[in-house]
Structure 1
Amino acid sequence: MKDLGAAKKILGMEIRRKRSSRKLWLSRKGYIKKVLERFDMANAKPVSILLANHFNLYQSPKCEVKIRGMEQVPYASAVGCLMYAMVCTRPDLAQAVIQISKYMANLGREHWNAVKLVLRYLKGTTEYGLMFRGQKCGSVVAYVDSDYAEDLDNRRSTTGYVFTLAGGPICWRSVLQYVVALSTMEAEYMALGDAAKEALWVQGLVTELGVEQGGVQLHCDSQDAIFLAKNQVYHSRTKHIHMRFHKIRELVASGEIILEKVHTSENAADMLTKVVTAEKFKHCLELLHVFQC
């Protein structure tokens, strides 16, 4: 028996190491290049940001002629490819993917233009991936955010969270909340509740991998939501909130979740909930160690 050489690919992800500086990169640049070729975007002009506020994606076509005109567009295939690219190595795609995936059944020209814009973004960031730093000890650090009532179809809010270990993201999510929040504070509190459930799973996983983990640090930019989670005060503003979201109070009291206030400008989950400026988007990528591999 003998030791085997270091893996260069796993589950479709390409691995690059620099042992002298104890760094490791994960990417899917080979897969992304194939996706761009498949949808004739290999020579497209790259862009630096995913979606812009001027895209009115909530508008679906009403005219039968326009609906039939979109039947031959490979929208579902393109969205599926983008979803696969997002998993494991590209948290920067999460918010855009959730937006474009809502219109699979009734898409318009604007929706297809949005997909092509995401592909143009991938053209300019094909080499991007996750960077992890070797550490003797480390713990899970998470960021959570929400965007209040920005879904124009049903006025539901968006939850976004990302968990990091060894400096890089290990899991992330951008998803519409399943009930309508009645205030910004409630939307943030519901996002905390969802992130807390994920924290329990992540905590169990890293413990099995031999990482010494105390309470998970959960960073949020809403002081009101943090106050509500730490202080079990019952009043008229919160009595309607579903009990499932109050689980976080128990986790905070037991020390399994350590809530920390973070300034909005330093909240890496901000890009998972809304369209942000190019400067903020780039800063979020830097916070999460999403770099060129």
Structure 2
Amino acid sequence: MHRIGFKRCEADHCCYVKSFNNSYIILLLYVDDMLIVGFDIEKINNLKKQLSKQFAMKDLGAAKQILGMRIIRDKTNGTLKLSQSEYVKKVLSRLDIAHAVGVVIRFMSASLKLQGYVDVDFAGDIDSRKSTIGFVFTLGGTTISWASNLQKIVTLSTTEAEYVAATEVGKEMIWLHGFLDELGKKQEMDILHSDSQSAIFLAKNSTFHSKSKHIQTKYYFIRYLVEDKLVILEKICGSKNPADMLTKGVTIEKLKLCVASIGLLA
């Protein structure tokens, strides 16, 4: 790839980029699957010819499916949608993971601006009393990264749980920032939304406080990000925070609101 002018992204070694005067080509590799994205179809065809001379490959034409996701194009409206409906059906119909599905169900019932949302269900796990972190990132209103998992430590308050979550999610935001930079979509200051005013205050206030002195040093990383203006922490109303659906079961109305706010279609 380097011989034909592509540069491998440091943020993701499966991604290669080649820039031109007014366009670029992105090539993604995953085992024996390849996805090519670009503005100029002639340049894409030339790339495929070059690669076919070096490797035995089968050209499947315009991408219709990748990694279990269907790609749905609407050229009339200029939209592109990703669907995992078939994958979801397969997962929900597998008897051998019925218990795992039951556990999961407990937690899941524009300009190219990077936006992050984080939320925590304090001490929600009845066995360990650990809190569940949920986060989602959007770019231009479209979801690009998300997760729902237990925190690694037991926290003593909602504020501490939200503060620790902000640090964990801040690391993901820095990685996304660097990845987008390599793709030519340089971001200014990234915005991370939290519905905890007290956690935001703690991240912005470097004064020693007896109630937070026990928090492990590594979780003060979010304070560094805020002080260096790498991340802006902003308050969002809890009822409008889409990350809420990744921390616990929510009502149908709340789920629809969360889904719509991050560019997903039910």
TM-score, with structure 2 as normaliser: 0.72
Name the CA distance, whole Å, in 2 between partners of 1:224 and 1:35.
39
Letter in 2 for 1:7: A
Aligned residue number for residue 62 of structure 2: 6
Of all paired residues, the percent bearing the same amino acid is: 47
Name the CA distance, whole Å, in 2 between partners of 1:176 and 1:184.
14
**Aligned-partner SS, 1:228:** helix
**Aligned-partner SS, 1:210:** coil
C-alpha change, 1:272 and 1:32, in structure 2 (3 Å) is closer
Deviations 1:208-231 (A, max 9, x none): 111120111100001000011011
Q: Contact 2:135–2:246 at 8 Å: present in 1 too? A: yes
Letter in 1 for 2:96: P
Identify which of 230, 246, 251 aligns with 2:225. Answer: 251
Q: Contact 1:98–1:174 at 8 Å: present in 2 too? A: no
Shift of the alpha carbon at 1:18? 2.0
Shift of the alpha carbon at 1:35? 4.2
Larger helix proportion of the pair: 1
Shift of the alpha carbon at 1:244? 0.9
Aligned residue number for residue 240 of structure 2: 266
- Work out the number of aligned pairs and report it: 210
Name the CA distance, whole Å, in 1 between partners of 2:197 and 2:172.
21
Equivalent runs, 1:215-234 vs 2, <5 Å: 215-234=189-208
Question: Which ranges in structure 1 are unaligned for 5 or more consecutive residues?
Answer: 40-72, 83-94, 101-117, 122-134
Between 1 and 2, higher relative CO (CA 8 Å, sep ≥ 6) is seen in: 1
Identify which of 146, 153, 163 aligns with 1:189. Answer: 163
Equivalent runs, 1:114-125 vs 2, <5 Å: none
Once superposed, what is the RMSD of the aligned Cα atoms?
2.4
Equivalent runs, 1:123-162 vs 2, <5 Å: 135=110, 137-162=111-136
Name the CA distance, whole Å, in 2 between partners of 1:187 and 1:278.
26
Larger strand proportion of the pair: 2
Shift of the alpha carbon at 1:146? 0.5
Aligned residue number for residue 261 of structure 2: 287
Aligned residue number for residue 75 of structure 1: 97
Aligned residue number for residue 151 of structure 2: 177
Name the CA distance, whole Å, in 2 between partners of 1:291 and 1:96.
24
Moved over 6 A (4+): none
